[in-house]
A = this chain, B = another copy of it.
């Protein structure tokens, strides 16, 4: 990946290549999954064709052809054109997208759908704070102490404390990108020491990805975690009918946190986001649950699913 950036005489100054990168998300059996290629080493990406009508349609046709999934929701994430994004001297502009699709139980096992927490194990707080989180924090603390100037040290300490919810601060699941960036700066993830040498600090657990794809994934997760709080996008990930507990589990999978069951139902019902199908779920243990469907009519009415999700404290 040597980016010479040298523009030869024959390449016009405005020659760029355009790439689309997708963070394609589904929730299967209560687990948040992301579509990957190359055995989980990269996000699916491909060139933006010259004959496509628009970026969005380019992404749609390409992803739908490749995965056989209809995309429910598509949203632009970010556009990069950093100098190291170049191949054969042609500089690449990468436009990343977040796309949501319905789960597909037949495909659940195979293909490239991976639990996104295998890339960010420290982000799953559904069973309390992960066991290795104290160790991560300890190593970040060590890194803050290695700062050269006191001001820098102070700044690092503050960022770590905010991002990881230290000193009585609450854990904020939306800060996933900030946490990843701290780990990157502290060279605790494999991507950070790529290309360099000697930097062999023991790494934090969690699978890495090629290029900056793990960073893009973090961006997508952050956007989604923020969005479910004020837009009814969870439903794009649900099957046509579902129980309220299944819906809750989907939200919890995305947020990486547990929500208060009774208050969650209150929220959903008072927003009139769903309606009963009349049928009941095949019993899965206790009292049978009603099946609901999403009231799609309500999408543009309800800008908000609720200012906040009813999270549980502990």
Contact = CB atoms under 8 A, between A and B. Distances in A.
Copies in the assembly, this chain: 2
Nearest to A4: B38
A211 B5 CA distance: 12
B37 A1 contact: yes
Given A53-B83, A82-B53, A93-B93, A2 B19 contact: yes
Given A78-B76, A93-B16, A300-B159, A21 B45 contact: no
A239 interface: no
A31 to B, nearest CB: 24
Interface stretch (A7-15, A132-140, A255-263): A7-15
Nearest to A42: B3
A51 interface: yes
Interface string A142-180: 000000000000000011001000000000101000000
Interface stretch (A84-92, A101-109, A189-197, A245-253): A84-92
B88 A6 contact: yes
A53 B88 CA distance: 17
A54 to B, nearest CB: 5
A7 B50 contact: yes
A301 interface: yes
A92 B15 CA distance: 10
B81 A54 contact: yes
Nearest to A210: B3
A11 B14 contact: no
Nearest to A213: B3
Contacts of A233: none
Interface in A23-69: 37-38, 41-42, 44-55, 58
A222 interface: no
Nearest to A54: B82
A299 to B, nearest CB: 10
14 contacts: A3-B37, A3-B38, A11-B15, A13-B47, A13-B49, A13-B50, A14-B47, A14-B48, A16-B16, A16-B48, A52-B81, A55-B79, A79-B79, A158-B300
Please provide the 8 A-B residue pairs with the shortest distance between their CB atoms, ordered closest to farther. Answer: A14-B17, A3-B42, A79-B79, A2-B45, A16-B16, A55-B81, A15-B15, A6-B87
